[in-house]
Structure 1
Amino acid sequence: MSILMVSISGIRGEIGSTLTPAVIEKYSLAFAEFIQGGKVVLGRDSRVSGPFMADIVKGCLVAAGCEVIDIGIVPTPTVQLEIEHHKANGGIALTASHNPIQWNGIKLMGGNGRFLSPENAQKVFDLADAGVQPLRSWDKLGRIVTDDQANHRHIQKVLALSYLDVEKIRKRRFKVVIDTVNGAGGMIMPDLLKELGCEVIAINQEPNGVFAHTPEPLPENLTQLSEKITATGADLGFAVDPDVDRLAIVDNNGRPIGEEYTLVIAVKLIFNKKMGRMVVNMSTSRASEDIARYHNCLFVRSKVGEINVAEKMLEIDAIIGGEGNGGVILPELHLGRDAPVAAALTLQALLEEGGTMADLKASLPAYEMVKQKVNLGNMNPDKVLEQIAQKYKNQPIDLLDGVKIDFDDTWVHLRKSNTEPIVRIISEAPLREEAEKLASRFMDEINSLK
């Protein structure tokens, strides 16, 4: 049965089931009350349900006295940048990220261009549950302004990054296949790559919201991209999710290198150029940590969730960070995951390495990650995690977000789900067989507690 997911990642549900017009209205009015009016940037991905959702959101915000700046179909990070550009009080991105076509969602952002902190998100949710309706009289209604230049501005800001030598990248003339899965990426990724002098072969570019394949950019969903790379002799391929905050890379042999390595490549590039601090979440590969330690740079982990990473980056003044799902955060531009940034940094790294994409991947610390989940039935997930933590109390252990246990060259991270009676198990080791064995071991240990 479908449920409405309400978390620090926003509100997500299935159209025609849990994400209804009434639900959209409820959270739109609550957000308007939270930001106390003013400018609100509104963008969306290409989902078929996007237009009707945008109409409801705009109507609610105008009724609450807000000025809505409608920037159309754009990446989620573009909405974040446009909040800063327009000096808005907040922003809303209508997207369900990597979820299937029947889903959509509402991502809420503050006037700082970042997602709402957990505390502020909860304030919005409480206002929504209270049924607030901050409606204005006829003479104090808001208005709608359209702006179709947001994607262009995003591209120009990426091209201006200090870590890029744009002219040298252009001279290299990389041949790149880009799969935008009929999402918002079709509006920005091919144009960015062309600006970087690439020969671009775009597949699934039309942003019609009818996704050509399962939209999460995992290896099993990238077969069409892999085949196109080998057929055309491309240097590499990129794939993004529908709202373009995650980037996956496929090498010149048509082999996906794994989403974890998008961030690893960016980290290696940045720390080769300057010393600094970095932040990743608890489930991100040790490969980034290895590179940071090699360069004697401070490496910090945060709770899972983009806003948690971003807040920690701000706190310690980090110069790079992100999550192992292909999400790269570069504060020089903004504190949010950004696939266009990740793609540009990858091309710069490939230029500097001088070899093929496969060569670049081979130069990085080698790890394999396995993800499993255990159905708990009637067991209390907090009790389960508590018992595991007690059993391994003599190992290096971190309880910041679930239970993470470090071994010599492996680790395992156990987290409970907020929406299902399950515990997620993420393990990593130098070899896949070792990672699978470690995950199975903890699955068995949890099952033995039943």
Structure 2
Amino acid sequence: MDPMFSPPLHVQRHQFVIDFVKRNKPQKVVDLGCSECSLLKKLKFHREIELLVGVDINGAQLKRKMHGLAPISTYYLQPTYDQLRIELYQGSVTQKDVRLRGFDLVTSIELIEHLTLADVDRFSEVVFGYMTPVAVIVSTPNSEFNPLFPGLSGFRHSDHKFEWTRAEFKSWALKVCLEYGYEVEFTGVGQAPPGQQERVGFCSQIGVFHRLGGRDVYNMLLGDDAEDVFSYTLLYSINYPSLRDNNILRRVLVSEVLYWAEKLKKRWIEAGELQTGERDDTYTPCQTEGRGEECLRASERCMEMEEKQTAACGAEMENPVEQCGRGVSEDKEREDEKLFWTNVQGQQESCKLHRYVSVPLAVLWSRCPKICALSGNLSNLRHFLMEAPEVKLSQDGWAVLVQDHDLEEEDHNYLEDSGYAEASQCSHSAEQEEAWGTNV
């Protein structure tokens, strides 16, 4: 039957739901009779949804299809502040379950025609009377359209218990509205051929129900004394990675801090080499250990230059992981060089502590909008990094210490050139011979 329609009829039904979600932005959505989870797989990309639930009586089919709802690797590599939890339940839509109460949207796409008329009444009571969602979308075949299908006799599917005319569907829908306090609008998908739309209507007729009084009445109904019934079996549950999870937020923030600290270290050292003409390893360490306030004052000029950017970073960074690229303009990097390498006599603000370069947190926070957006303020940034073992902080906790591997390599080369390494090896060999002789 679908080849008559472009796009196919099932795609049009799903697109109708997706368009509704885009307009109304429901946070909690349940698809009754989710079957192969094809609608859920499309809805999971609409991140305004925080809880997405599927229910079907065929548990074996759910188990075969549920893994297609798992997060793809991109969600772990670039998590956002959006939250999404997906749950799949095995159960009948004629049974109550307290976990499905109070949703923003319930969808029932081509489901009720598979129920007996007695079960349709129970379905109405469960969905509209017990679950009390803000909105319900119900689609079902329109039997008046059936004569347009060549060779079709009887119902469109062997499992259908009935197929309603437009008048029959309207009668049921208005009865539901009267009993449970909803209003309904009628529409559909699957246009009839030109000149026949008025006579036969849509191929799939759709009723969109809205609770009278909206969320106010809906919240009041949730406070009643309805019994807590657990009729469904939970088969699948997964939380998508989100920056609202402190563990994930810390991982992303630490990764960004380590990247920028290393980049700034290299830039400042290169700038120092260019100004002196050679690498000078006699810089006196800046006394920032235990003096975080001085480190902050040293970066005030940098922060003033970034005041406008910093003030607006939170509003601009809806998705900081995606929007903040790992690149700072050359002009800004040159400004850093001027700020942190003032002369060749050891007066630079960027501090070399033994074999570490000290990068103040205030500089990191002001230089990268991503770090600014993720941490919110300097105190939060410091708090997150103090709990991250992979980050080495100064004793006062207001600077990141980045190891200078070039210095270590030069020290190693110096030892080799001085002959100390050979002497050490000879001494070690002599000790081994003496020990061997003793043992013999």
1 or 2, which has the higher helix percentage? 2
More strand by share: 1
TM-score (norm 1): 0.23
Q: TM-score, normalised by structure 2?
A: 0.23
More RCO (CA 8 Å, sep 6+): 2
- Give the number of the structure whose alpha-carbon radius of gyration is greater: 2
